[in-house]
Amino acid sequence: MIFRILSFISIVILSVFITPLISLPIVLWYALRWYAPEIIVLGLIIDAFFGGTNGLPYYTTTAFLLVILAESAKGSLMIYHL
Amino acid sequence: MMNSRQTSNIKLRLIVALIIFIASVVFWRFFPTPIQLASENLINPLLKTESFLYNLTSQNQVDIDPSLKEELDYLRAENATLLNQLNSNEDGRIVAGVIGRPSALPYDVIVIDRGEQDGVIKDAPVYADQHRAIGFVATVYKNSSVVILITTPGFTSTVFVYGPNIYTTAEGMGGGVVRIHVPQGIDIKNGDIVAIPSLSSGVYGSITAVDSIPSRSEQYGYVTSDIPINSLRYVSVGKRPLTPISFEEARSTIDSARRELLQVPVPEGVLVEVDIEVATSTEETLEGDVREDEGEVETETNL
């Protein structure tokens, strides 16, 4: 549990300060490692703070798609059947 | 192979994620205030810590420099910038520190450490120096504000290009770059100065690259500012919001910016100028002398 909390805090910091090209794979790993709907809320927080005037909540949408992708992939990945 | 229990488990997880997503979008679109308050409390401390570390690192770089003169020059330049920003407008401005830069932040925006409590208002122009506006305040929080840059993707503005002397539309490309597009046949070239009259500042930057293929109907010019946004430490914020301007007002701004192009900021003590009052009195004295001389001539002639 502590590892998960520390990972989430790291993801929060990375999402705010590092380019999405680096943070996205880490978020995907996080979503594959655990069931992670909290990253949608993190996306919402980033969208609300930085992108209040944008037409679309890009981070929220991306986080949702990552969760969907990760959950769908879990059924096909060998590691989950060991 | 997955059994039916695993399949229903995944379906349940997807449904929960979908519900959270829909609720998030609804909140973001219709009730943004509580989310913004929460995000301010979460993200502001992170930004301030990062800014503190950034400034600490910059100061250390100056300290380890063996030459004291360079340090003095650096401090003088910073002081001059701050004084410029403070005294640049009769209406006054609010000087703010930059705590978030576009290279590190989502959405190509900057975050400043002044907010509602300091008098920052929404839609106020934000300046990098005395005249150069770089964007406007998009969201105001209690102790910070988010500034949308001219270069933010999706941001379009009307610009004037000196050289071909044309008005055209510019769109933000992100990363400190604005792109203008003009028809083929109009001669745009590197170094042409670009001004954005609607931001009441005049000059923004100059064209640094031209993308022109003869077979294409339009050509692109890429404009960057002379001031690198990512190294900004302070900005000043206007106290009045931006308002739409007429074409006449835009033309007046362009003309005044054109005049400013000829001026160079020379430090006090270096510039040699004739005091206007002294010059006027000298002129009067000269005129008086001439008249006296003429009188003498007339007197001599009369004699």
| pLDDT for res B122 | 87
What would the pLDDT profile of B9-62 be if each residue is shown by its tens digit? Answer: 788 888 998 999 999 888 888 888 888 888 888 888 888 888 788 777 765 555
Distance of residue B98 Cα from the nearest chain A Cα, in angstroms: 14
Question: Cβ–Cβ of A50/B146 closer than 8 Å?
Answer: yes
Per-residue buried b or exposed e for B263-279, using 16+ beta carbons within 10 Å of the residue's own CB = eeeeeeeeeeeeeeeee
pTM here is 0.70
Q: What is the mean pLDDT of residues B166-188?
A: 85
Comparing CA positions, the residue from B222, B195, B198 lying closest to residue B208 is: B222
- CB-nearest to B17 from A49, A52, A64 is A64
Question: Cβ–Cβ of B20/A37 closer than 8 Å?
Answer: yes
- CB-nearest to B42 from A35, A45, A68 is A45
Comparing CA positions, the residue from A7, A13, A18, A25 lying closest to residue A62 is: A25
- CB-nearest to B10 from A52, A53, A74 is A74
All residues of chain B having their beta carbon less than 8 Å from the beta carbon of residue A40 are 17, 20-21, 24
Question: Cβ–Cβ of A53/B139 closer than 8 Å?
Answer: yes
- The whole-chain average pLDDT of chain B stands at 76
All residues of chain A having their beta carbon less than 8 Å from the beta carbon of residue B43 are 16, 45-46, 49
ipTM field = 0.85
From first to last of its 82 residues, chain A has per-residue pLDDT tens of 888 899 888 888 888 888 778 888 899 888 888 888 889 988 888 888 887 666 788 889 999 999 999 888 887 776 665 5
CB B146 within 8 Å of CB B109: yes
Highest mean pLDDT, choosing among B200-204, B226-230, B264-268? B226-230
Question: Is residue B8 scored above 70 in pLDDT?
Answer: yes
* Residue entry with tokens 């680096």: A22
